[in-house]
Amino acid sequence: MTRHEPIDPQRQIRQAEIFAGLHRSGDPLLLANAWDAASARTVVHAGAKAVATTSAGVAWSLGVPDAADLGVDRAAAAIERIAAAVGVPVSADIEAGYGPEPEAVAATITAVVQAGAVGVNLEDRRGPGLFEPAEQADRLAAARAAADRLAVPVWINARTDVFLAADGPVKKLQAVQERAVAYAAAGADSLFVPGLIDLEAIAELAAGPLPIAVMVWAGAPTVSELAAAGAVRISLGSAIAQAAYAVAARATTELLEHGTYDSTADGIPYGTMNDLLGTPAG
């Protein structure tokens, strides 16, 4: 991947420091996840203080399923386009690091940070199951070492899919707590627990070794409730991308079956969107 505009190292370090400072107890970082330059510009224009990607949205926009074959090159290319389009910190969803080995994770970290990212999500899912805590700790340590070699204080959001992937008699909260200890020792900055919205459980985890990040959807507790429970980061994941594609489906159905177009009534005006993409990143 060839970057057209070299990254200013000092600016990237400042962006990393800003991003870290947005993770605050009682005033969490709110992330409306983007998947391309236009969606990133849109959420920043709406007031977002940072941009995080959604691997699902990026994959879908490129014609592949999530958790399939996005790969480091396409993930880094998406980050490069987004980071060039916005003036706020950008965090990269790198799924499980595009390879099981710590060396593969390190290579992915290097690629996305060189593309402009100052944060990453790294998950512990391996196929239908999970990496063992010690295995994932090694992968997180490799991510931290790769970021250190680049001299960028990358925020590593260690995602655990215990609440999504674990089944059977697993004591999920206890399993997450055990992973939090291992991941903190490996250099993670926060623990991301998608699938968990129970406020008491979030509060219990927030008392542990890592700040807690959560993912929300329609019907989840409010930002104020999650903040009171101790979450320092709240993200929408793929929800906005899903909603955008739902508009496309509804508008098409309305056009074909009813001959009307009301589903498109709330769209951003053409001129507004065009001007938004024509404005240099701040």
For the chain, 282 residues long, give each residue's pLDDT as a single digit of tens: 434 467 899 999 999 999 999 999 999 999 999 999 999 999 999 999 999 999 999 999 999 999 887 999 999 999 999 999 999 999 999 999 999 999 999 999 999 999 999 999 999 999 889 999 999 999 999 999 999 999 999 999 999 999 998 666 569 999 999 999 999 999 999 999 999 999 999 999 999 999 999 999 999 999 999 999 999 999 999 999 999 999 999 999 999 999 999 999 999 999 999 999 998 886
Task: Domain 9-238: give its CATH code.
Answer: 3.20.20.60
> How many angstroms separate the CA atoms of 206 and 176, rounded?
11
Q: Are 120 and 159 in contact (CB under 8 A)?
A: no
Burial category of 168 from C-beta neighbours within 10 Å (exposed 0-12, middle 13-18, buried 19 and up): exposed
* SS3 of residue 104 by DSSP: helix
The residue whose two tokens read 């993770």 is 23
> How many angstroms separate the CA atoms of 131 and 142, rounded?
15
The domain ranges of the chain are 9-238
Indicate the pTM of the whole model: 0.95
Distance of CA 100 to the CA centre of its chain: 19
Name 149's Cβ contacts closer than 8 Å, sequence gap at least 6. 110
